[in-house]
Structure 1
Amino acid sequence: MTAPPAVGAAVDRAYRDEWGQVVATLIGATGDWDLAEDCAQEAFAAALSTWARDGVPDRPGAWLTTTARNRATDRLRRDTAAKAKMRELALLARDPGEPATEGIPDERLRLIFTCCHPALPFPARVALTLRTLAGLSTAEIAKAFLTAESTMAQRLVRAKRKIVEAGIPYRVPPAELLSARLAAVSAVLYLVFNEGYGDADGQRGLTAEGIHLARILVRSLPAEPEARGLLALMLLLEARRPYRTADGVLVALEDQDRSRWDHAMIAEGVGILDEALAARRPGPYQVQAAIAACHATAPDSAATDWPQIAALYRELARLAPSPVVDLNYAVAVALADGIPAGLALVDELTESGRLEGYYLLPATRADLLRRDGRAAEAAVAYETALELAPTDAERRYLTGRLRAL
């Protein structure tokens, strides 16, 4: 029987909001990742028919957790080889509406830190996070990262095996380790977001998953300003992401129609950033969010506060030094203090060799040369950038700039 549309929509919403919580609760109770995912899937499947008959419950998450718990209990009782796992069933019997144990506001937080444990290879952390917390299928994750499904399946199996064999604890790290581990978690979530942000067609949906997971992190760690900084950064970038391309061609920030940006999302991002900065514990994500806010709140390109952006990039270089940050700082200096000052910094980067093969280095030099009226030199730099550009949208943009010269 096909569920009524309203019931289907309710199950879809619950899947989006509750999947990670249901899976996290079962993993915490049984220690069996595959069992947790299987029983969660069965619970959502059961919801379609039961909710169509009895109505959508007032607390969908509690209903789903209880149903999944019962499925897990039945399976474990039938499996004599798994009797040892029954040790945790007392935890499963807890009312899913009760607060989590040990003062942790959300079981998903344990799952986030376990998925992102530094003992796991970085690609495995990303895949496991998307599978267990966001509920993406193996095929969806493989497609998002342009990897064969079989390869992604093996990656997930190895990651789960590593957790068991290495005895990786299913917990939030102690206070003295939290800051360092939070940086590792944030790196995974930001990579998920960036994979979607760089998708010109916007079909992979990973920006939404990154934002969804960052919201969980903020709700779970409300006193951590960097978690808020990460969420603010994602929101401020996502507000203008759909307009980064037009007809398959990259659109420069200064040429985007700012009236089409999502200003409600910008306002939310700025508000969350203000909350983070109020803690007076600045970190790299807060600084990047502040830079994004300068762009997002400027009424037009000419009104952009480039001196402020240059100062923020100096701070970011102090907190998280990298040649890419130095390149962005050079652009801000060029637009704040004059093209020659910025070009000098770009030339220093070129001579250092730290960004060799990175297409944005010659592309940036080409753009600054174009602005300085040095068309012939700009053309050579654009041609170099074209040879290195990784996507069609970027190549079309550079080709357009070259032709315009």
Structure 2
Amino acid sequence: MAAAAGDVPARIDAIYRADSRRVLATLIRRLGDFDLAEEALSDAFAEALRRWPSEGIPAYPRAWLVAAGRFRALDALRRRARRDASLAVVAERIERDAEGYRSTSAPGLAALDGELVDDRLRLVFTCCHPALAPEGQVALTLREVCGLATEEIASAFLTAPSTIAQRIVRAKTKIRDEQLPYEVPGPAEWPARLAGVLQVVYLVFNEGHHASSGATLVRADLCAEAIRLGRLVLGLIDGGDETPSAARRDLGLEPRRSSGATEAAGLLALMLLNDARRSARLDVAGDLVTLEFQDRALWDRGQIAEGVALVERALANRNFGAYTLQAAIAAVHAESPSAEATDWPQIVGLYDLLLRVAPSPVVELNRAVAVAMRDGPAVGLALVDALFAGAAGRELERYLPAHATRADLCRRLGRGDEAAAAYRRALALARQAPERRYFERRLAELETA
């Protein structure tokens, strides 16, 4: 592939951004070790920077990088085997696997490129393996699948880089020591394992959409990474990737594509629709603006259109679940010109379905809010009070939105003392500066009323 020597570093940078995670995923499969594969990836791109300006960019750059990384790893293992005999066995295995692909000539790379499959789905499932601690799954996924640096992950989660590094090391060690399989799970495991993957993606998004602590409510970088990861997962299980159909059958994807893709599409829709409101959720001073008062002209109509299309596609499949129903609720909000014009009966109906699919006190609380908008605050408050008095009361007592909801309903009903007490409880639970300022304003308004 001809390119001016001065343009080559920029082209290599573009290839890194587009394909480095895919090359890494294949190297992990071929080398059988995360750390060795990361080192091989770095060595392969360093070799490309050294050789491609004079030799030209190869016709199959991804295959070239896989071959170069594997050969550099093999050389490193041979050197280390002089001090550690156990590594000689690993080196022999990699050398056997490399037979036939020693040449970086065009025919050799073409043969290798023809055999390459997209290993990123294997990587996703391994990083989200249920044997790993949840915080380790999140950190490892962001590091290996999304390519974020340890410092970037730490900054996003307001955690020390050393803590994130330890989580990643522990996860890799568990994968190695327990020999967790680097594979797409079989038919029996598929539903539960895919649910675990989607849960990790949603955890990353939620931390970005509503940060658990800190000075800012929204972390756009985490939202963007979660959406990017959601697109990747959907594309890989839905046939939107470049994996040949024969290889897809070998991976066992074809029989499960329909059911798996439905909830993956639902999750991506949910994230897109919620993220579409990001610019309207805070005012110029960084203070919280609730949905009722948001300037809907600031909502991202492109994301809304994409999210609504994904919702419609998912609902057309009878296998939809909780993510799709939540996305359908978000779509009703997104398509409403105002809070007053929102189709609250439809939203209540969707919450009724969601309670059947994924019952929880939080879903019941959200349904109570929708009922209050449909039938009035007194009806909604009765439902909220029943939740606090019931089996879910202890859990809701520690849940900030429950107290904020009760406070708002009491305020609307003119029950100022009860509203103030609920706002104070919400304020005590608030960890975000914009939330604290919001509840402080509400309390001040009640005191001056």
* TM-score (normalised: structure 2): 0.82
The within-5 A match list for 1:20-59 is 20-47=21-48
Aligned 8 A contact 1:239 1:263 in 2: yes
> What amino acid maps onto 2:209 in structure 1?
Y
- The residue number in structure 2 matching 1:227 is 264
Q: CA deviation at 1:41?
A: 2.7
User: 1 CA distance for matches of 2:340 and 2:9?
Assistant: 48
User: 1 CA distance for matches of 2:58 and 2:413?
Assistant: 65
Task: Describe the shift of the 1:291–1:54 C-alpha distance in structure 2 as closer, same or farther (beyond 3 A).
Answer: farther
Task: Describe the shift of the 1:264–1:49 C-alpha distance in structure 2 as closer, same or farther (beyond 3 A).
Answer: farther
Matched, 1:323 2:392: no
- The residue number in structure 2 matching 1:396 is 437
- The residue number in structure 2 matching 1:343 is 381
Q: CA deviation at 1:56?
A: 6.4
- The residue number in structure 1 matching 2:74 is 73
Q: Which runs of no fewer than 5 residues in structure 2 stay unpaired?
A: 102-108, 239-256
User: 2 CA distance for matches of 1:350 and 1:6?
Assistant: 64
* Residues 115-124 or 193-202, more deviating: 193-202
> What amino acid maps onto 1:364 in structure 2?
T
The within-5 A match list for 1:47-126 is 47=48, 61-80=62-81, 81=85, 82-86=87-91, 87-88=93-94, 93=101, 97-98=113-114, 100=116, 106-126=118-138
1:87-131 CA deviation, whole Å, 9 max, x = no partner?
245656485643656xxxx31101111111111111111111111
- The residue number in structure 2 matching 1:167 is 179
Task: Describe the shift of the 1:376–1:150 C-alpha distance in structure 2 as closer, same or farther (beyond 3 A).
Answer: same
User: 2 CA distance for matches of 1:250 and 1:12?
Assistant: 39
3-state secondary structure, aligned to 1:249: coil
- Identical aligned residues as a percent: 52
Aligned 8 A contact 1:30 1:89 in 2: no
Matched, 1:269 2:314: no
User: 1 CA distance for matches of 2:310 and 2:279?
Assistant: 22
1:329-353 CA deviation, whole Å, 9 max, x = no partner?
1101111122111111110122232
Count residues with an aligned counterpart: 399
3-state secondary structure, aligned to 1:301: coil
User: RMSD of the alignment, in Å?
Assistant: 2.6
Task: Describe the shift of the 1:372–1:232 C-alpha distance in structure 2 as closer, same or farther (beyond 3 A).
Answer: same
1:114-169 CA deviation, whole Å, 9 max, x = no partner?
11111111111111111111111222222222222222222211111111221211
* Partner of residue 370 from structure 1, selected from 400, 411, 416: 411
1:307-366 CA deviation, whole Å, 9 max, x = no partner?
111111122222222211111111011111221111111101222323112121111011
1:15-36 CA deviation, whole Å, 9 max, x = no partner?
4432321111011011110011
Aligned 8 A contact 2:31 2:70 in 1: no
* Residues 337-346 or 71-80, more deviating: 71-80
- The residue number in structure 1 matching 2:319 is 281
- The residue number in structure 2 matching 1:208 is 224
* Residues 48-57 or 382-391, more deviating: 48-57
* Partner of residue 242 from structure 1, selected from 279, 300, 306: 279
Task: Describe the shift of the 1:348–1:203 C-alpha distance in structure 2 as closer, same or farther (beyond 3 A).
Answer: closer
* TM-score (normalised: structure 1): 0.90
3-state secondary structure, aligned to 2:143: helix
Matched, 1:383 2:424: yes
Matched, 1:143 2:155: yes
- The residue number in structure 2 matching 1:258 is 296
3-state secondary structure, aligned to 1:68: helix
3-state secondary structure, aligned to 2:318: coil
Task: Describe the shift of the 1:376–1:55 C-alpha distance in structure 2 as closer, same or farther (beyond 3 A).
Answer: farther
Q: CA deviation at 1:68?
A: 2.7
> What amino acid maps onto 2:273 in structure 1?
L
Q: CA deviation at 1:13?
A: 4.5
Q: CA deviation at 1:391?
A: 0.7
* Residues 225-234 or 268-277, more deviating: 268-277
- The residue number in structure 1 matching 2:343 is 305
User: 2 CA distance for matches of 1:4 and 1:398?
Assistant: 59
User: 1 CA distance for matches of 2:325 and 2:32?
Assistant: 38
Aligned 8 A contact 1:230 1:289 in 2: yes
Aligned 8 A contact 1:193 1:207 in 2: yes
3-state secondary structure, aligned to 1:302: coil
* Partner of residue 195 from structure 1, selected from 192, 195, 207: 207
* Residues 244-253 or 194-203, more deviating: 194-203
Task: Describe the shift of the 1:26–1:305 C-alpha distance in structure 2 as closer, same or farther (beyond 3 A).
Answer: same
Aligned 8 A contact 1:193 1:211 in 2: yes
User: 1 CA distance for matches of 2:52 and 2:438?
Assistant: 50
Q: CA deviation at 1:60?
A: 5.2
Task: Describe the shift of the 1:70–1:302 C-alpha distance in structure 2 as closer, same or farther (beyond 3 A).
Answer: farther
* Partner of residue 191 from structure 2, selected from 179, 188, 208: 179
